[in-house]
Structure 1
């Protein structure tokens, strides 16, 4: 058997979880990766209600769906970010509060600690998410940025996330940063520096998503090879670079789905990611976890895309060989 193929529910949070469970089973998925928003998985309820997690499990079991991970990208973003009005739209009201940045950050930190505790109650070993970044706005080095400002950004990340990772360690749960523009780790070298900042502690690894690398010009396969022991979860998502001489990879402040953009997300198998090479690389590092579809194609019907993506992932996956091809030539 190949790896289980799951559907990340973040882009489906407008639907009640039970409706999505029914759809996911019809589409051909083996399980779900629950987002910590909508009614899919609510951290505060998981902490306060001792029956909440068991009821979520029962709902998935009703539709013969497995559960390997939950994801709290939105709250994680507020831990290290420079908080502004954008964050109000993505945070629970009890985390946003009065919007005072110091209070928002403090509540976001506590919510991420509670996410680890909730994962333990749910019997899930992986939480995926974002970290935010206080230095992302410095990505283009003008006015010239003193190295001390970048150093301070990584130190702030370590100061804020090490206490969160302490709770993850106590709970026996790992955190997978989705390496992504806007995060403290967004490519190979910044991801390496992120690990160095927290002394490469075992609780912290990566939710590998090739779509965020390919448009930056980074080979996703090289990311797997660089971090063979830190691939804690895998998102299957595609992207296409569509540079036409007018647009660039910075996207011109044009929203996703607009054909003028220099790149955009695509349904799995319809972009530029070489998924067969990714499977071979995952086999080489002995990754046996799920392949979780994160569906974000603004130009395609999502039901059609999600079903097609499930079929694609089942078909592209394969087990490594257990024999050398030339073994039969010997004695």
Structure 2
């Protein structure tokens, strides 16, 4: 039997350049003061964690853990959402996603991808050194520009994309198996893994790898008009962590599921 602990907070949306959001100690003090008991820790900002060092230096990892615990908190999981995004990037999005990569890798998609894969492997090792059993991430997206089947997709486009995606993630999943860490994909619009059907297709291509699991966030399902409760019935064995936040689908006579350009007229000066 598993007992839920918490509450915990995902820090990615709060990290910034001003106190109390600019150092690990400051943000832990802030989170503890709000009553949180855990933090899901992003790994992209070296002010909060040196990911490579946490992977290769167990002493550093334990010191990091002790720092968080000194505020009455614990690290619930590491997050590699941004690095996971960079494992698979459609070339049309290269310029947009370059912002997630170190400066020296921008404009170099192949090197950026190699860096991202290594980051995921470091995160698996760091999770192990911190005593964590699951890692949060995004899948990345080769196919998102083709989410709506118009113009008609070329034959085998989706199959080819998932073959490539699986080839990139299989070594990371194997790293998870080596270190006893589950890789939990947040199923999210903008990712090739964004619902149950795409997760099923991915599982097929990674041979139903036991380390391929789910970060369940129903807010992303509400906005896809997906039955988020039935999803639990189907995928509960693969759900290893979850996010909780509000979401509403409020269609109108002017905007529905694909209405992402509410303010385009004002931005265009029309």
> Taking structure 1 as the reference length, what is the TM-score of the superposition?
0.72
Q: Would the alpha carbon gap of residues 97 and 247 (structure 1) be closer, same or farther in structure 2, given more than 3 Å must change?
A: same
> 1:10 touches 1:37 (CA, 8 Å); kept in 2?
no
Corresponding position: 1:238 with 2:264: no
Q: Quick one: distance in 2 between partners of 1:205 and 1:250?
A: 27
**Partner of residue 200, structure 2:** 192
Corresponding position: 1:19 with 2:26: yes
Instruction: Give 1:10 shift.
Output: 0.7
**Partner of residue 57, structure 1:** 65
Q: Would the alpha carbon gap of residues 8 and 252 (structure 1) be closer, same or farther in structure 2, given more than 3 Å must change?
A: closer
Q: Quick one: distance in 1 between partners of 2:162 and 2:4?
A: 38
> 1:9 touches 1:40 (CA, 8 Å); kept in 2?
no
Higher RCO by CA contacts (8 Å cutoff, separation 6 or greater): 1
Q: Would the alpha carbon gap of residues 92 and 54 (structure 1) be closer, same or farther in structure 2, given more than 3 Å must change?
A: farther
Q: Quick one: distance in 1 between partners of 2:52 and 2:15?
A: 17
Corresponding position: 1:85 with 2:92: no
Q: Quick one: distance in 2 between partners of 1:175 and 1:250?
A: 29
Alpha-carbon displacement from aligned partner over 1:220-270 (angstroms, at most 9, x marks no partner): 111111112100101112212232311222223347xx9xxxxxxxxxxxx
Q: Quick one: distance in 2 between partners of 1:92 and 1:49?
A: 22
Alpha-carbon displacement from aligned partner over 1:289-322 (angstroms, at most 9, x marks no partner): xxxxxxxxxxxxxxxxxxxxxxxxxxxxxxxxxx
Q: Would the alpha carbon gap of residues 2 and 70 (structure 1) be closer, same or farther in structure 2, given more than 3 Å must change?
A: closer
> 1:165 touches 1:203 (CA, 8 Å); kept in 2?
yes
**Secondary structure in 1 aligned to 2:8?**
strand
Runs of 4+ in 1 over 6 A off after TM superposition: none
Structure 2's unaligned 5+ residue stretches are none
Corresponding position: 1:132 with 2:144: no
Q: Quick one: distance in 2 between partners of 1:249 and 1:40?
A: 36
**Partner of residue 217, structure 1:** 225
Instruction: Give 1:50 shift.
Output: 4.4
Q: Quick one: distance in 2 between partners of 1:90 and 1:103?
A: 13
Corresponding position: 1:155 with 2:163: yes
The count of corresponding residues between Structure 1 and Structure 2 is 254
> Taking structure 2 as the reference length, what is the TM-score of the superposition?
0.88
Alpha-carbon displacement from aligned partner over 1:25-84 (angstroms, at most 9, x marks no partner): 121111111111232333123235443212211111111112221110001101111251
Structure 1's unaligned 5+ residue stretches are 259-331
Q: Would the alpha carbon gap of residues 253 and 51 (structure 1) be closer, same or farther in structure 2, given more than 3 Å must change?
A: farther
Q: Quick one: distance in 1 between partners of 2:216 and 2:98?
A: 27
**Partner of residue 280, structure 1:** none
Instruction: Give 1:158 shift.
Output: 0.9
Q: Would the alpha carbon gap of residues 2 and 54 (structure 1) be closer, same or farther in structure 2, given more than 3 Å must change?
A: closer
Q: Quick one: distance in 2 between partners of 1:252 and 1:12?
A: 23
Alignment of structure 1 residues 1-331 onto 2, 5 Å: 2-14=4-16, 15=21, 16-38=23-45, 39-47=47-55, 49-83=57-91, 84-93=94-103, 97-254=105-262
> 2:40 touches 2:76 (CA, 8 Å); kept in 1?
yes
Alpha-carbon displacement from aligned partner over 1:112-142 (angstroms, at most 9, x marks no partner): 1111111111221111010111111111111
> 1:13 touches 1:40 (CA, 8 Å); kept in 2?
no
**Secondary structure in 1 aligned to 2:107?**
coil
